[in-house]
Amino acid sequence: MTQESKSAELPYRVLSYYHYVRIENPAALVQSQRDLCQELDLKGRVLIGREGINGTVSGSTEAAAGYMHAMRDAALTREMEFKVDGAPGHVFARLSIKERPEVVTLGLPPGEDIDPRKRTGRHLTPSEFQELMETEEVVLLDGRNRYESDLGRFRGAICPDVEHFRDFPAWIRKNLGALKDRKILTYCTGGIRCEKLTGFLLHEGFTDVCQLRGGILDYGSDPEVQGRDFEGLCYVFDERIGVEVNRTESRRIISRCRHCGKLSPRYRNCGWPQCNAQFFCCQGCEGEFGRFCSVACREKKENQAMAGHPGEKG
């Protein structure tokens, strides 16, 4: 049985989507989205701003269908494209719908932000992206944060050492200045960040800028490319943490356990609250060391427990 048909048989759906569109009254859309999601018992995270809407929600197959239907019935979200994945249950613990000044933040000064509806890189389908990667001398740029590319990335990609998307402008100015006449291919999880990132690259004088339409998620579900050349898992911002992308023989894990160095895609947060570092930890080492990134962090937590102070997060 293929991955896709296995996924389709699961009782829940995870929907992810974005749409850059002028929203005159974000607060009203927040309210109507909250009503809709509560009615359908959807959980997840939705961000709404004057520049658009971005969300990932989980719910029963029926609820997910109802949500997509309702979105396509509303003028603002009529053209929404959804990425749909199967799941055994909810992948979020709760529902959060928030208004934000921007749905994606490059951190540029007011008035200088990129409007992807006006300027963005050329969109490539998964097949076009894969073909260019293989046949041309391209610069492959990962448009995500370091903790995401550490879990998985396209083979040969440049993975910026940044912790936030707003760090990209400075990082690009510092590191990519010599590549302005090269063909740049960017990718991110679902495509929303690349819309702005490629707009920024064009603004900076890069001449040949393309982006992977639908991001890594669509690349993984595309029946033709089947995630080829993607290594490791795709980081996602829900309880799953990582999802499979590459469905070909070349799939492999690239991340290594912090403690023993064995290949492992298991991401954990250090159990010492002041550290909270995200690190890879294999099952065996988690049993042995507990959920700590280091012996030092475990000892701090143990000393605190002995001193009778409750941990910050219990």
Where does this chain bind Zn ion (CB under 5 A)?
A: 257, 259-260, 262, 270, 272, 275, 277, 282, 285, 293, 297
Q: How far is the CB of 174 from Zn ion (least distance, A)?
A: 29
Q: Which residues are catalytic?
A: 188
Q: Are 299 and 272 in contact (CB under 8 A)?
A: no
Query: Distance (Å, rounded) from C-alpha 44 to C-alpha 97?
Result: 8
User: Which residues touch 82 (CB under 8 Å, ≥6 apart)?
Assistant: 15, 16, 17, 68, 71
In this structure, the strands spanning 183-187 and 138-142 are parallel
Q: How far is the CB of 289 from Zn ion (least distance, A)?
A: 8
Over the range 163-186, which residues count as b (16 or more CB within 10 Å of their CB) and which as e? eebebbbeebeeebeeeeeebbbb
User: Which residues touch 5 (CB under 8 Å, ≥6 apart)?
Assistant: none
Partners of 98 in the beta sheet?
Answer: 47
Q: How far is the CB of 277 from Zn ion (least distance, A)?
A: 5
Strands (E), 108-159: 122-124, 138-142, 152-154
Residue that is written with structure tokens 């605190």 in the block: 304
